[in-house]
């Protein structure tokens, strides 16, 4: 049975090997089309994740904003 420490070491080692393999096979030895598709896909996923994270933070802030609000519950007064 693998201990937790051995599992973490194996996980970190495999991540380093994955990065080395990715750099040597795809970026350096790959054709330009694959490099462009990887970069554009990364940008697409990054923008989508950032937008979703922003929406989630806004929803959480809206959820907890009522807890700390000093409003009376009345609509705003018009002049």
Higher pLDDT, 32 or 45: 45
Residues 24 and 36 in one domain: no
Q: Is 20 a residue whose pLDDT tops 80?
A: yes
Domain that holds residue 25: 1-30
Do residue 5 and residue 20 come from a single domain?
Answer: yes
Do residue 24 and residue 37 come from a single domain? no
Domain assignment of residue 72, yes or no: no
pLDDT at 4: 93
With a threshold of 0.75, does the pTM exceed it?
Answer: no
pLDDT tier for residue 23 given thresholds of 50, 70 and 90:
confident
The answer to whether residues 38 and 25 belong to one domain is no
Residue 46 lies in a domain: yes
Nearest-angstrom CA–CA distance, 22 and 19? 5
Backbone CA torsion sign across 22, 27, 33, 37: positive
């Amino acid at each position: 049975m693998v201990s937790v420490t051995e599992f973490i070491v194996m996980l970190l080692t495999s991540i380093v090997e994955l990065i080395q393999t990715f750099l040597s096979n795809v970026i350096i030895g790959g054709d330009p089309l694959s490099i462009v598709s990887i970069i554009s896909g990364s940008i697409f996923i990054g923008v989508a994740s950032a937008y979703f994270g922003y929406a989630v933070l806004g929803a959480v802030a809206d959820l907890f904003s009522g807890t700390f609000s000093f409003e009376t519950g009345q609509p705003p007064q018009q002049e």
